[in-house]
A and B are shown apart, each in its own frame.
Chain A
């Protein structure tokens, strides 16, 4: 009987305690962050979408080799003598045309390993994280500043230069002239 009354009392008492707790929560500040309207400050060094400053890129391919999921594709063409590609912002001379610099961000695992080896610090993680697309193709970002035609042209130029060089070499082998001056 004593147990029974105690149970009754305990039941009523604990319900009232619970109701008090929930009632006090009615007036507490809300924890919801209304995302599209309000955004939380991202932590420093947060890793999101990659960005490449192609003006600084020397086409060294180190980021592509560092990538664990092979999402970076880089193609380069050597510059022919006479072409001046300028220098990067930290003074390195550029010697390669970067004809293709594609990052398939759909594959990217946001590890940030590509960021560290870059000698000119031209690839880094931005704080942009809203870049969903309806088509997967749109997630392949093209960073090269050369148009396909230009890239083709550069390739042709280099090919021509190579052929020229090979031809000269062959000529030089065929009729060696000790006192030949260089040039065309």
Chain B
């Protein structure tokens, strides 16, 4: 494990773990967020038969870097009637919630920030921490639209946690552990050992599990879309109704923090789906390093597969965003309480029965 190795290397636990904790931030979240924004803009452009950013650098590849440089230079405005401490703290609270979730994500067999036995539970709990930040941001801005956005956001995230958790719980019932690293290790060898295809179980149980697992994944995916405020569940931001929702009053780097947190969150929820349903860092068809006899390559391949699968789900989120219109508030609640939650419960019972066979 890299964190322990680093701690050993520096001799000081604190320093080693600090550097280990910063690794995903600098090596993955920042570059990923930059290019996820770029990808989002390109995909939306292609879906609307446009070209998208293509002026800054080849094919516009440096567009988001230019944007972030612009945001750094911008004036940091705090409205005079804002609740100042809350206003300043909110973006950091939201980003903390996002970044803390990365601590329990198994990037590879040799890197997991914190190999805790409650991994899934921890991530789901800590990512709802950002609800507090959103409410803080909306309230502190002292703007009607911000407050509306924040309230919608909170109502939405709190409601959608129910089906999301039920879907996860139904999967975890079969899996039997909450440790994400162990879950990833289970789904070894080939892709038919992924939990969405029934996992490494044998016989009839595996085949019976496939459909409930797919349903669980779909429910979790939809609910996670709502949790990260993505279209079709973007009523907290709702550009055409609420200006920009809870971050209306923010400028410059604070605004960039919200962006970073949003894209970070998208990856976190995708990473949970990947770890639980799509084999985590396991390759779908064996490792190149093993077949070539270069064993040090294997962990890097694992990192690649984890990030690749996660980014792929992020791309699907973007695809959905540019396909579907925004839901109304009542439709939002209908989808959650009348459809997702009952299905999640039925699914839970089904999977329970299957595990008993």
A residues with a Cβ closer than 8 A to B are: 7-8, 11, 15, 18-19, 21-23, 25-26, 28-32, 34
Contacts and interface: CB of A to CB of B under 8 A. Distances in A.
B68 interface: no
Main SS at interface, chain A: helix
B339 A18 contact: no
A16 to B, nearest CB: 10
A11 B340 CA distance: 12
The 10 closest A-B pairs by CB, nearest first: A22-B323, A18-B323, A22-B47, A32-B51, A26-B46, A31-B49, A25-B47, A30-B51, A19-B323, A32-B50
B322 A22 contact: yes
A5 to B, nearest CB: 10
Contacts of B50: 30-32
Contacts of B322: 22
Interface residues on B, range: 10 to 19
Interface of B: 43, 46-51, 319-320, 322-324, 339, 343
A23 to B, nearest CB: 7
A23 B43 CA distance: 10
Contacts of B323: 15, 18-19, 21-22
Given A19-B323, A22-B47, A31-B50, 13 more contacts: A15-B323, A19-B319, A22-B319, A22-B322, A22-B323, A25-B48, A25-B49, A26-B47, A28-B49, A30-B50, A32-B49, A32-B51, A34-B51
A28 B343 CA distance: 37
A18 B322 CA distance: 10
Contacts of A18: 323-324
Contacts of B43: 26
Contact of B339 (A11, A15, A25): A11
12 contacts: A7-B339, A15-B320, A19-B319, A21-B323, A22-B319, A22-B322, A25-B49, A26-B46, A28-B49, A29-B49, A30-B51, A32-B51
A99 B339 CA distance: 82
